[in-house]
Chains A and B, each alone.
Chain A
Amino acid sequence: MMWRIRHFEERVGQLKRADQVHGLIHLSVGQEGVAASVCGQLRDDDPVYSGHRAHGHALAKGAPVERVLAELMGREDGLCKGLGGSMHLVDVEHGFMGATGVVGGNIPMALGSALAGRLRGGDQVAVVFFGDGAVQAGHFNESVNLATLWGLPLIMVCENNGFAEFTPRSAHTNVERVSDVVAPYEVTRETVDGNDVLAVWESFGKFLAAARGGGGPFLLECLTHRLRGHYEGDPGKYREAIAKADWQEKDPILRLQRHGVAEGWFSDDDAATIERDALAELEVAETFARESRFPSDDLLSSMVYAD
């Protein structure tokens, strides 16, 4: 899954430069470990909400690669018929309830989905992904208060990559750790190295089991690194490039591979096969997306309201 996301994102970066995918494109290269560890443990009926950097979350939740790519290319076979785009991916069938382009706007919606699950008597757990930039928004604070007041089965996953758009976290707030922001509400919380796939898996798994059993809410802060700019085309002058050797050390995928090989879970060859398969799948997906047509004009009137 992580290779699938990595190569998807890198291909999307290339397609953006070739003007084949459209709109504002925010890539999650370097943050794949969080998406894979979180979504890999969820059921299709567990609702997931994401923000503007959502491709990895959608793919990890089960959205088909070719339909996500077709959506980014504005084609009628896209997940959302080409009407939503990169920041508005939705795949209801797999419980990917939606990404939003408004930072933090997804958080209260995830609360609503958690509330709906509880009112219906189900054991679904709602998950919302957001970046550290959302934490300074009013709706984050309103939502944390409500989620704790109501004890909702919700896991808030903050990917703290240290940058809110173009500005380092330290320029926006005096509170360094997101887990400290929610401390007064007594949210059960943890801060983990988001590049350590196994650590994220374990912490999230613990929260998930508790939420499934009626607990909540929880906050999992994953410290990550965004290898690319805020959006594709971002000159990125505000940040120092990470040295290649340092990144080899931190890369969540390579780290897991080194660990897995050392533990004897799989061989280097197995890992290489997984990566090759991801690339081959992407070739098929790109052909599918390129062959799909652009949507017809009549959607402008037929899709505004539900019947």
Chain B
Amino acid sequence: MAEITYVKAITEAMAGAMRADERVFVLGEDVAEGGPYTTTAGLAEEFGTERVINTPISESAIAGVAVGAAQSGMRPVLEIMFIDFITLALDQVVNQAAKAHFMSGGQLSVPLVLRTQGGAGTRGGAQHSQSLEAWLTHIPGLKVVMPSTAVDAGGLLASAIEDPNPVVFIENKTLYFKREEVPDEIEPLPLGRARVLREGDDVTIVALSRLVADALSAAERLASEGVSAEVIDPRTLVPLDLETIVRSVQKTNRLVIAHEAVEHGGFGAEIAAEVQAVAFDPLDAPVERVGAPFSPIPLSPPLEDAYIPGADDVYAAARATLR
């Protein structure tokens, strides 16, 4: 076993892919310098600036460059520094990358990984803190990955780079420097498989990214009160491992879905709809959702802290299903 941070696992996954496959290259703003969170630190030193390419602040063009390179046989890993800036790249992501395989009748494929990070909690304000994954899950042709641990971040990124499709890989900035015990070698993990982090019989909590840790602490508190909660991290939203979630709900009869994104129109709504469609009878209570309020993210620290959903909200939601 070794101790590693989430950010280091991500860097290592890129380095491993670059060592194994010369088609893999990294591009983005400040990537040769390591970027603001050191996600690409050391890559330029090992692989040179021909394969770790700094770009101007031109999100639309660099996304297009990545799509064109991917269609031409390369395996680009594009970094969009904050998910908030993906708005500027969405033509390339949504209209070009996602649809190229389909529109070309299968002639083109776009083996592209778009790495980005979201999440509040760093006083970043409304344009550097959002959780925008739900937009991307609405686009056929994209895969969407959202890891919550170092071992998943490393293992899923390795698979995302090998995938022949465009994968949006959404990291969380508050997880970057968390330390974690991991195996000496992080193995690639298949996309589309949920992880059951804690088994339980009374309520299922499906949590995404940063909310996974909150769900686990809510589960601890529930356990101390005699309630046994099962915690599931889907890890990839597209494709979604609905089977694991449904199997759990059939056992617990209650479901809570927790994410940091605005609750309204969030991915929790999709999970709730899909679960009730196939497991309506087993449900003993309305599905509860935990998400942020319908508001931009505030700067003021007490206000931001109140804005971000956390373990107390997950606990309250689980309790609501047990009433």
| Chain A residues in 8 Å Cβ range of B62 | 108, 146
Partner of B101, one of A79, A145, A303: A303
Q: Is B227 an interface residue (CB 8 A)?
A: no
| Chain B residues in 8 Å Cβ range of A142 | 56, 58, 60-61
A180 and B68 alpha carbons, distance in the complex (Å)? 26
Shortest beta-carbon distance from A55 to chain B in Å: 16
Shortest Cβ-Cβ A-B pairs, 3 listed: A108-B64, A112-B68, A109-B68
Shortest beta-carbon distance from B174 to chain A in Å: 31
User: Across the A-B interface, how many residue pairs have beta carbons closer than 8 Å?
Assistant: 150
Residues of A within 8 A of B (CB): 47, 49, 78-84, 88, 90-92, 97-98, 100-102, 105, 107-117, 119-120, 126, 138-139, 142-143, 145-146, 149, 303-307
- Say yes or no: A105 contacts B91, CB within 8 Å: yes
Shortest beta-carbon distance from A158 to chain B in Å: 17
| Chain A residues in 8 Å Cβ range of B109 | 306
A114 and B72 alpha carbons, distance in the complex (Å)? 9
| Chain B residues in 8 Å Cβ range of A110 | 68
**Contact A143 to B102, CB < 8 A, known contacts A97-B72, A105-B96, A112-B69:** no
Shortest beta-carbon distance from A37 to chain B in Å: 24
Q: Is B131 an interface residue (CB 8 A)?
A: no
Q: Could you list 27 examples of A-B contacts with CB < 8 Å?
A: A80-B107, A83-B102, A84-B105, A88-B104, A90-B100, A91-B107, A97-B108, A105-B92, A108-B61, A108-B65, A108-B92, A109-B68, A111-B61, A112-B71, A112-B72, A113-B69, A113-B71, A116-B73, A116-B74, A126-B68, A145-B61, A146-B55, A149-B56, A304-B102, A305-B164, A306-B106, A307-B164
Q: Is B150 an interface residue (CB 8 A)?
A: no
| Chain B residues in 8 Å Cβ range of A115 | 65, 68-69, 74
Shortest beta-carbon distance from A137 to chain B in Å: 9
**Contact A306 to B101, CB < 8 A, known contacts A97-B108, A109-B67, A116-B69:** yes
Residues of B within 8 A of A (CB): 25, 50-51, 55-56, 58, 60-74, 76, 91-92, 95-96, 99-111, 140-141, 143, 164-165
| Chain B residues in 8 Å Cβ range of A92 | 104, 107-108
| Chain B residues in 8 Å Cβ range of A90 | 100, 103-105, 107-108
**Contact A139 to B91, CB < 8 A, known contacts A105-B96, A112-B65:** yes
Chain A residue at minimum C-beta to C-beta distance from B27: A115
Shortest beta-carbon distance from B107 to chain A in Å: 4
A84 and B108 alpha carbons, distance in the complex (Å)? 12
Partner of B105, one of A83, A119, A120, A307: A83
A108 and B106 alpha carbons, distance in the complex (Å)? 21
Chain B residue at minimum C-beta to C-beta distance from A99: B103
| Chain A residues in 8 Å Cβ range of B164 | 305-307
- Say yes or no: A146 contacts B56, CB within 8 Å: yes
Partner of B95, one of A105, A112, A304: A105
A306 and B143 alpha carbons, distance in the complex (Å)? 11
- Say yes or no: A116 contacts B68, CB within 8 Å: yes
A120 and B51 alpha carbons, distance in the complex (Å)? 11
Chain B residue at minimum C-beta to C-beta distance from A152: B65
Chain B residue at minimum C-beta to C-beta distance from A305: B165
| Chain A residues in 8 Å Cβ range of B51 | 119
Chain B residue at minimum C-beta to C-beta distance from A105: B91
| Chain B residues in 8 Å Cβ range of A81 | 105-106
| Chain B residues in 8 Å Cβ range of A82 | 105
Chain B residue at minimum C-beta to C-beta distance from A126: B68
| Chain B residues in 8 Å Cβ range of A102 | 91, 95-96
A91 and B107 alpha carbons, distance in the complex (Å)? 8
Shortest beta-carbon distance from B27 to chain A in Å: 9
Chain A residue at minimum C-beta to C-beta distance from B95: A102
Shortest beta-carbon distance from A121 to chain B in Å: 10
- Say yes or no: B71 contacts A119, CB within 8 Å: no
A214 and B272 alpha carbons, distance in the complex (Å)? 55
| Chain B residues in 8 Å Cβ range of A116 | 68-69, 72-74
**Contact A112 to B60, CB < 8 A, known contacts A80-B104, A83-B103:** no
Among B50, B55, B68, chain A packs the most CB atoms within 10 A around the CB of B68
A115 and B65 alpha carbons, distance in the complex (Å)? 8
| Chain B residues in 8 Å Cβ range of A88 | 99, 103-104
| Chain B residues in 8 Å Cβ range of A109 | 64-65, 67-68, 71, 92, 96
Chain A residue at minimum C-beta to C-beta distance from B63: A108
| Chain A residues in 8 Å Cβ range of B72 | 47, 97, 112-113, 116-117
A108 and B89 alpha carbons, distance in the complex (Å)? 11
| Chain A residues in 8 Å Cβ range of B91 | 102, 105, 139
A120 and B70 alpha carbons, distance in the complex (Å)? 12
Partner of B103, one of A80, A113, A114, A307: A80
A82 and B111 alpha carbons, distance in the complex (Å)? 23
- Say yes or no: A143 contacts B64, CB within 8 Å: yes
Shortest beta-carbon distance from A151 to chain B in Å: 13
- Say yes or no: A98 contacts B165, CB within 8 Å: no
- Say yes or no: A119 contacts B103, CB within 8 Å: no
A158 and B315 alpha carbons, distance in the complex (Å)? 60
| Chain B residues in 8 Å Cβ range of A120 | 73-74
| Chain B residues in 8 Å Cβ range of A306 | 101, 106, 109-111, 164-165
- Say yes or no: B108 contacts A145, CB within 8 Å: no
A105 and B64 alpha carbons, distance in the complex (Å)? 8
A80 and B68 alpha carbons, distance in the complex (Å)? 18
- Say yes or no: A79 contacts B71, CB within 8 Å: no
- Say yes or no: A97 contacts B141, CB within 8 Å: no
A112 and B141 alpha carbons, distance in the complex (Å)? 20
A91 and B63 alpha carbons, distance in the complex (Å)? 22
Among B51, B60, B72, B106, chain A packs the most CB atoms within 10 A around the CB of B72
Shortest beta-carbon distance from B18 to chain A in Å: 12
Partner of A108, one of B68, B70, B102: B68
Shortest beta-carbon distance from B62 to chain A in Å: 7
